Amino acid sequence: MGDSLNKSDIASLSDEIFESRITNHESPNSMSSSPLLADLIDALRCLPGVGAKTAQRMAFHVLERDRDGARKLAERLALAVERIGNCSRCRTFSEEEVCVYCASPSRDRGLLCVVETPVDQLAIEQATGYRGQYFVLLGRLSPLDGLGPKQLGLDLLATRLAEGEVQELIVATNPTVEGEATAHMLSQLARAAGVRASRLAHGVPLGGELEFIDRGTLAHAFGGRQEL
């Protein structure tokens, strides 16, 4: 019985602590020594993966140790949001009308790699030696989210293919259900324009162990085995 008493004591205590946190959390201005600081903590939560606790740590960190960095971040953030739009040719992020990839004379105009997002484009650019051009869908086919061919800029892509410069369309959408559907539509588009379409190889990732690789990937890798 002494035990159960203790337990309920502890439970009520935890509730009290929890309660006070909730209350404080709902009125952030009251919990901080400075309303501006509370506003900053709140605003930091727009960043992905940043919750209340991390935002707090970030705000205190920059105020205590890196005000110059914070000042610079504020400037660049404002500038980026204001000035960065989309390239009129490939739809990636760019502050110019035409992005550096599309404007570059040294990049092969016969190759066009289609990706879902600018991050995917950056990943390919960083990891591979690809020196062709890109087209960024800014999404994937997803009718439920209102993303159809028009939103993905497929009319722009069709015009580009019709120009006749592109020899090969490299489809680099994600291997998800929606990505696959998008890839299917892209291959149809390429066929209609008489352009060869290819896609990234599926297979065993470097450093992966066969034992732990999922069945689908392994089956793909086995089926697509290459001559040594």
Number of neighbours of residue 135 by Cβ within 10 angstroms = 27
C-beta closer to its own copies: residue 32 or 217: 32
Segment lying near its own copies (by CB under 8 A), choices 59-67, 106-114, 174-182, 191-199: 59-67
Q: Count residues binding its own copies (CB under 8 A).
A: 72
124 touching its own copies, by CB under 8 A? no
Q: Does 174 bind its own copies (CB under 8 A)?
A: no
Q: Does 131 bind its own copies (CB under 8 A)?
A: no
Q: Does 210 bind its own copies (CB under 8 A)?
A: no
- Nearest approach, Cβ of residue 60 and its own copies (Å): 5
Grouping H, G, I as helix, E, B as strand and the rest as coil, residue 67 is helix
Secondary structure (DSSP) of 40-62 = HHHHHTTSTT--HHHHHHHHHHH
61: contact with its own copies by CB under 8 A: yes
Residue 209, classified by CB atoms within 10 Å of its CB into exposed (0-12), middle (13-18) or buried (19+), is: exposed
- Tell me: does residue 11 bind its own copies (CB under 8 A): no
Place of tokens 């410069």: 165
Local structure of 96: helix, strand or coil: coil
Which of 8, 15, 84, 222 is in the footprint of its own copies by CB under 8 A? 84
By CB under 8 A, residue 146 contacts its own copies: no
60 binds its own copies (CB under 8 A): yes
- Structure letter (DSSP) for residue 79: H
The DSSP call for residue 107 is: S
